[in-house]
Structure 1
């Protein structure tokens, strides 16, 4: 499984350099930068300490949506107080989710937000799963470089697992499932039930391969029934 780390609008070059160093230390090498040139600043190279190749190969994207266009499964990091969703996977749970999906998904990405404001709600909605680092209440934040290191350390074991080659069709199952669910919500006119829509959105990201296949079958049957009941 190809794995990318995405930094959205990082402001401080030192943080980008620290992130690159953490990636290199733990075996990750694909860095995507959204709407920032901080990785090109000399300060980023000074902090990277031997991880300059990651900075040199880093790709720039105009938006998070563009950076995720070729990604099958994405995980967004966020502070609990900044997100409207209620479910947050711990770093350990993220590892478990990716370990299972590694068998049937071709690419994944871990997204980190701005140093001061994190990711917007619109950006969070682009992700399949949300995650947060449990912390003591009296010291509620880590800087960007530290957060990247926590996740790279937790997920480093995935780089050592030889996963079976994913079927190209399987890697898009989740995207197709989201599209079918969105169409069903629209058809049933229940889009105003934001709690239901949010619950569906976050829970779909937790499904395993067999679950997605079974839900596709169920939605197919539901869609067929709805078509059959349409007036002549």
Structure 2
């Protein structure tokens, strides 16, 4: 699994430089920038210090959807509770989730939002899983560079497993599972229950490879039974 760090509309070049330095320190090298050219600012290069190569290789995308187009799995960071979203794991709990998914996911993204407002609901809806850092504060917030450092530190063990042999990844399995559930909901005439759909889509992000395979088998049996009844 290759983990890509994605920064959405970073405003301060210094924060991007600090993020690149944190990535380099912990062994990560792929940086994607959405709707910002802050990584090209001399201030970003100055703060990055020995990680200027990461800034030089950083890829720009106009939207988050574009940046995630080739991802098999996406984790979005957030510091705020939203009505339609929930924290599913802390930074520490994220490591075992991704370690298990290394066996069947090739490309993964870890997304960080804007310094002042984070990610929008629409942007978080693009993620397969949400994560947050528990903090003791009235207004919980981490500097962007600090947040990237926390997660890169927690996930550094992924690099130690990166060269182990494992079964070929199965890109698109999770998305295919969501589509099959959506089609099932349509056949059962429950597509109007947005709360149920949102809950299911988000919970599927926690599914293991075995869970995903078993759910595909279950859906096949349900679809077959519905077809026979017709």
Which interval holds the TM-score relative to the shorter structure?
over 0.9
Deviations 1:94-142 (A, max 9, x none): 1110010011111111000111111111111110000000000345111
Kept after mapping to 1: 8 A contact 2:17/2:44: yes
Matched, 1:53 2:88: no
| CA–CA separation in structure 2 for the residues paired with 1:163 and 1:187 | 43
The verdict on how the C-alpha distance between 1:83 and 1:57 changes in structure 2, with shifts beyond 3 A counting, is farther
- Unaligned regions of 5+ residues in structure 1, if any? none
TM-score (norm 2): 0.95
Distance 1:74 1:35 in 2: 18
2:98 match: secondary structure: helix
User: Normalising to structure 1: TM-score of the pair?
Assistant: 0.94
How far off is 1:86 after superposition?
Answer: 2.3
Tell me how far apart the structure 2 counterparts of residues 93 and 39 of structure 1 sit (CA, whole Å): 30
Structure 1 residues 139, 123: CA separation in 2 closer, same or farther (over 3 Å shift)? closer
- Kindly report the root-mean-square deviation, in angstroms, between the aligned alpha carbons of the 2 structures: 1.4
Q: Paired residue for 2:2?
A: 2
Secondary structure at the aligned position of 1:50 is classed as helix
Distance 2:55 2:87 in 1: 33
Counterpart CA distance in 2 for 1:166 and 1:16 is 35
Counterpart residue number, 1:21: 21
Matched-pair contact (CA < 8 Å) for 1:102–1:163: no
Distance 1:152 1:37, change over 3 A: same
Match of 1:179 in 2: 179
Correspondence for 2:160: 160
Gaps of 5+ in 2: none
Summarize the Cα distance change of 1:82–1:9 in structure 2 as closer, same or farther, 3 Å threshold. Answer: farther
